[in-house]
Amino acid sequence: MKPDWTPGNRLQLLCTGSEYFPALEAAIRAARVEFHLETYIYEDDDTGRRITAALCDAAGRGVAVHVMVDGFGAKDMHDFLKRQLREAGVRLLVFRPKISPLTLKRERLRRLHRKLVVADASVAFVGGINIIDDMHTPGQIPPRYDYAVRIEGPLVPAIHDSMLRLWNSVAWGHGSPGLIHRPDIAPDGTPRGTQRAALVVRDNFRHRSDIEDVYLAAIDAARDEIIIANAYFFPGRRFRQALVRAAARDVRVVLLLQGRVEYLLLHHASRALYGTLLEAGVEIHEYHKSFLHAKVAVIDGHWATVGSSNIDPFSLFLAREANVVVDDRGFAAELRVSLHRAMEEGALHVAREHWFRQPLWKRLPIWISYGVVRFLMGVVGYAREL
């Protein structure tokens, strides 16, 4: 799958919520006609309440505000926030609101994991940052380490269209009167810069493997360096083989992965893959300074991606995801510098020699967890991909 490259964009890389949320609030305040937001998590904390107040204020001045949250990710979204949004005139939809206790049923695992925003069909945001306070990280050192991109230019209409299509699909499925028959404003695709970018989405219909395919094409074309930072890294066979092939042709392959434990089972299971990768010459760095939530990559100093998609079965085979892919040396260089700084200041290098000398009591939980995850993925029909 080749990205549908669009030239003429102006992109701004945003690192952590300290840069993202002020930019998001500014976009909400500047909106005059319509505002669309999709998020997996919408937390009742300082950030969630601040964004809610801004959205309610926008609706109060006549902006058509549309907010979509995931039924599982935002299951703890306080009823007060929902009521506050709706009473202000914000249209709120919940993607797959029914949460079955049988969470391994495949349809229950198909969640909305995208983090997209479009304001007045002229400014967009794509990234991995939820509506949650980055400084409130129980058991971890703040802030969460993540990225988003602010976009102006010809790519915005594609993001706007993707959000409208999903909104109408979910609204129709709910029997909601909130269908958008036509946009409140014509999308602005006027060139604003010089950067080439594309929107790549994953769904369970026509774009089942688009994000993984774009990654694999870039990895297979790499000739110099691959840097991938990913919070939940449990790639399938195709992805692992692509990384091993790249290392075999003397490409420097660097992985920045989660060093702190959030989900114990996945944390141990993902480490079962380290041996094969280290043996092939892949560098692995575990981020310990704070909680890693990033899903980004830089390849050969010109190709980059920022988005919501992890490299794990949930993101690559089940969830709705959205990444922006960029072909621009300036943007890629900025992201590369940021990742190198993160590795130098907050990560520990996993030494190959040390890894293979680990005692049995450390290796046993890794392999047990790997077996359990493979079994669970087999239950939902995806073990063959791993």
Task: Give the model confidence (pLDDT) of 240-275 as tens digits.
Answer: 999 999 999 999 999 999 998 777 888 889 999 999
pLDDT of residue 209: 96
Shared domain for 89 and 237, answered yes or no, is: no
Does 29 share its domain with 60? yes
Q: Which residues of 247-281 are buried (b: 16+ CB within 10 A; e: fewer)?
A: beeebebbbbbbbbeeeeebbbbbbbbbeebbebb
Average pLDDT value for residue range 111-128? 98
Pairwise CA distance, residues 266 & 261, whole Å: 9
Mean pLDDT of 194-219: 97
Instruction: Decide which of 195, 217, 233 is a domain's last residue.
Output: 195
Q: Residue 344: which region, alpha, beta or left (left: phi > 0; alpha: psi -120 to 50)?
A: alpha
Cβ atoms of 126 and 199 closer than 8 Å: yes
The model's confidence at residue 53, banded by pLDDT at 50, 70 and 90, is very high
Percent of the chain with pLDDT over 90: 77
Exposed, middle or buried by CB within 10 Å (0-12, 13-18, 19+), for 31? buried
Same domain, residue pair 296 and 377: yes
Closest of 188, 193, 196 to residue 158, by C-alpha: 188
Judgement on whether residues 15 and 137 belong to the same structural domain of the protein: yes
User: Is residue 218 scored above 80 in pLDDT?
Assistant: yes
> In terms of domains, do 300 and 367 share one?
yes
| pLDDT confidence of residue 332 | 98
169: confidence class by pLDDT, cuts 50, 70, 90: very high
Which range among 61-75, 127-141, 226-240 shows the weakest confidence by mean pLDDT? Answer: 127-141
Asked whether residue 42 carries a pLDDT value surpassing 70, the answer given is: yes
Distance CA 17, CA 310 (A): 18
Give the integer Cα–Cα distance in Å for 347 and 259: 8
pLDDT score recorded for residue 386: 64
Confidence of residue 360 (pLDDT cuts 50, 70, 90): confident
Question: Which residues are the active-site residues?
Answer: 113, 115, 120, 293, 295, 300
Domain range for residue 24? 6-195
- At 12 the pLDDT is 98
Q: Is residue 240 part of a domain?
A: yes
Query: How far apart are the C-alpha atoms of 281 and 283, rounded to whole Å?
Result: 6
Find the mean pLDDT for residues 308-329. 96
Say if residues 293 and 287 touch (Cβ distance below 8 Å). no
Q: Is the pLDDT reported for residue 367 higher than 90? A: no
Q: Is 89 exposed, middle or buried (0-12, 13-18, 19+ CB in 10 A)?
A: middle
Q: What is the pLDDT of residue 77?
A: 92
* Whole-angstrom distance, CA of residue 73 vs CA of residue 327: 31
Mean pLDDT computed over 324-337:
98
Q: What pLDDT, on a 0 to 100 scale, did the predictor assign at position 165?
A: 95
Q: Of the residues 152, 172, 195, which one is the last residue of a structural domain?
A: 195
Which structure tokens are listed for 43? 């937390």
Distance set, CA 264 to CA 18, 88, 270 (Å): 28, 40, 10
- The answer to whether residue 136 scores a pLDDT higher than 90 is no
Pick 106 or 76 by higher pLDDT. 76
Residue 321 to residue 317: CA distance in whole angstroms = 10
pLDDT digits (tens, 9 = 90+) for 81-109: 999 999 999 999 999 987 765 555 556 67
Q: Are 133 and 222 in the same domain?
A: no
Nearest to 8 by CA among 260, 182, 195: 195
Asked whether residue 1 is assigned to any structural domain, the reply reads: no
Do 244 and 128 sit in the same domain of this protein? Answer: no
- Confidence band for 19, pLDDT divided at 50, 70 and 90: very high
For residues 190 and 207, membership in a common domain is answered with no
* Cis, peptide link before residue 143, omega less than 30° from 0: yes
- 181 falls in which pLDDT band (50, 70, 90)? confident
Cα diameter, the chain: 64
Q: Is there a single domain that holds both residue 229 and residue 190?
A: no
263 within a domain of the structure (yes/no): yes
Do 250 and 133 lie in one domain? The reply is: no
Task: Write down the mean pLDDT value for the chain.
Answer: 92
pTM for the structure as a whole: 0.95
Q: Note whether 312 and 189 are same-domain residues.
A: no
pLDDT at 237: 94
> What is the model's pLDDT at position 260?
86
**95/179 same-domain check:** yes
Compute φ and ψ for 4, nearest 5 degrees.
Answer: -85, 80
Q: Which of 141, 163, 195 is the last residue of a domain?
A: 195
Of 18-27, 77-86, 374-383, the one with minimum mean pLDDT is 374-383
When divided into structural domains, the chain yields a total of 2
pLDDT reported for residue 100: 64
- What is the pLDDT at residue 80? 92
